[in-house]
Structure 1
Amino acid sequence: MLISAVKIEKFKRLATIELSLSNVTMLIGGNNSGKSSLLQSIHLLITTLQSTT
């Protein structure tokens, strides 16, 4: 499965974020900017989808 875009709403301190993904996507930002929260939300989505199948 190839994920080309992610939209996250109301996860931890992320209000709304839309992210287009390519073969290589780098997250760059200062401390407390939401990089880890973004990755955690994607991880939660994938593990939830895997557990339902």
Structure 2
Amino acid sequence: MEPPAKEDTCTYASDWVATKLRWKLTADSAEVKALRTAAGGCKNARVTFRPAA
């Protein structure tokens, strides 16, 4: 679960989480673990989202 460009990993992980939150989607334990691993080096990453109507 990584983007093609390594330098985009933090943006990719943040966008993934934002999409899950926006649409109230769940994540199984494997997905949570993969997201934590991908975002592990993202010290200043922020997740912003607008809930879907």
* TM surpasses 0.5: no
| Structure label with greater radius of gyration | 1
Q: Which has the higher strand share?
A: 1
- TM-score of the aligned structures, taking structure 1 as reference length: 0.35
